[in-house]
């Protein structure tokens, strides 16, 4: 059964067709890679799926429910969470608070429980802190936990972003270029973490330029070109496909 189904998605930006009749589906428990040359529509695909932009045509189904045009916050609560190509940190907040923020179901995020400082808010906050500290430690950011995230390096930001989205315990995780600008050691480490998450049952979709890491990591590759699906299949088949070689190496 497919967890995410995208049907005939289309999006145009001022005459430029970024997505053209794109249909892709991702099964529960799969680890799927999305690749394609620059401008192939990878990020637009993510943006349309995650509610950041509304598609002009087509439908997005999450767990068989039509979520086309739903807001990012509604989709995050429904279990689909994404990261961003250029890491977006809450730079004026500490690493710890960055992670804690993402916790779902905190009654203290409403006015009255916050004013009255209710027991349920404090109990939840205790759990939130414990979980956030676990994640911060798991991503080896504990020595930076009280630093403002604006002072982190590029690689550390990628790790923090992962820790933050995992706080939501998503069913479907969309990662937009998680290896961009990251050194080879850290790339391997992040790849292992993604695999471990997938082994634990999380469905993951990864956009990436870095072909080698991606092909080693994923179960299935989807290649986009000019906003449409070029090829999909298991990594070896896809990489030996004539059309893919042509798209990447040019005519």
Partner 1 sequence: MSVADRLPLGDAAGNGALLLGAVCVLLAAVFALTPLVVSLPGSLYVFFEVAILFAVYGVLVLGLDLQYGHTGLVNFGHVAFFAVGAYAVAMLSARDSFAGVSLGLPWPVALAGGVVVAALLGAAVGATSVRLRDDFLAVATLATAEIVHSLFVSFEGVFGGNVGIGSVPQPVSDLAGDADTAMLATLLLFGGVTLFTLAAVTRLTEAPYGRVLRAIRADELVTRSVGKSVLTYKMQSFVYGAALAGLAGGLFALYTGAVAPGYFTIQVTVTVWIGMLLGGAANHRGVLAGLAVIMGLRLLSRFALGVMPLSADAFASVRLVVVGLILVAVIRYRPAGLWGDAEELGVDT
Q: Which residue has the tokens 């082994």?
A: 199
Please state the closest distance from residue 101 (CB atom) to partner 1, in A: 5
Residue 84 or 248: which CB sits closer to partner 1? 84
Q: Candidates 104, 133, 169, 248: give the one binding partner 1 (CB under 8 A).
A: 104
Q: Exactly one of 14, 15, 92, 200 binds partner 1 (CB under 8 A); which one?
A: 92
178 scored as a contact of partner 1 (CB under 8 A): no
> Which of 250, 219, 227 lies closest to 238 in space, CA to CA?
219
Query: What are the helix (H) ranges across the chain?
Result: 42-49, 72-77, 95-101, 111-116, 119-138, 154-166, 184-199, 211-217, 235-239, 242-249
Specify the residue for token string 């892709």: 24
Q: Which of 36, 55, 108, 155 binds partner 1 (CB under 8 A)?
A: 108
- The SS3 of residue 29 is coil
Distance between CA atoms of residues 142 and 136, nearest Å: 5
Q: Which residue from 20, 89, 208, 232 is in contact with partner 1, where contact means CB under 8 A?
A: 89
**CB 111: neighbour CB atoms within 10 A?**
8
Indicate the residue among 93 and 229 with the shorter CB distance to partner 1: 93
Of 58 and 113, nearer to partner 1 (C-beta) is 113
- Per-residue binding letters, 37-76, with partner 1 (x by CB under 8 A): -------------x-x------------------xxx--x
- Report 127-156 residues binding partner 1 (CB under 8 A): 128, 146, 148, 150-151
Minimum Å distance from CB 251 to partner 1? 38
Closest to 27 measured CA to CA, from 58, 71, 64: 64
Distance CA 21, CA 111 (A): 44
55 Cβ neighbours under 8 A, 6+ residues apart: 9, 10, 11, 19, 48, 68, 69
Binding site residues, partner 1, CB under 8 A? 50, 52, 71-73, 76-77, 81-82, 84, 88-94, 96-97, 100-104, 106, 108-111, 113-115, 117, 121-122, 125-126, 128, 146, 148, 150-151, 164-165, 167-168
């Amino acid at each position: 059964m497919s967890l995410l189904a995208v049907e005939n998605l289309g999006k145009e930006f001022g005459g430029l067709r970024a997505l053209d009749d794109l249909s892709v589906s991702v099964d529960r428990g799969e680890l799927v890679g999305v690749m394609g040359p620059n401008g192939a529509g990878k990020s637009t695909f993510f943006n349309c799926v995650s509610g950041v932009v509304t598609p002009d045509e087509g439908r997005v189904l999450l767990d068989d429910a039509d979520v086309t045009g739903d807001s990012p916050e509604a989709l995050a609560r429904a279990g689909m969470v994404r990261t961003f190509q250029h890491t977006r940190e809450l730079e004026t907040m500490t690493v710890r608070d960055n992670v804690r923020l993402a916790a779902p179901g905190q009654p203290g995020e409403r006015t009255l429980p916050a004013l009255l400082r209710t027991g349920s808010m404090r109990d939840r906050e205790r759990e939130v802190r414990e979980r956030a500290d676990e994640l911060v430690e798991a991503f080896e950011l504990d020595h930076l936990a009280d630093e403002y995230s604006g002072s982190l390096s590029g690689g550390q930001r990628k790790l923090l972003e992962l820790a933050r989205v995992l706080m939501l315990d998503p069913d479907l995780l969309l990662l937009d270029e998680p290896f961009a600008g990251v050194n080879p050691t850290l790339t391997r480490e992040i790849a292992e973490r993604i695999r471990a998450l997938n082994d634990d049952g999380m469905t993951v979709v990864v956009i990436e330029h870095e072909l080698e890491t991606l092909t080693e990591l994923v179960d299935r590759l989807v290649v986009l070109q000019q906003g449409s699906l070029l090829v999909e299949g298991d990594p070896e088949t896809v990489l030996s496909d004539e059309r893919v070689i042509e798209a990447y190496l040019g005519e």
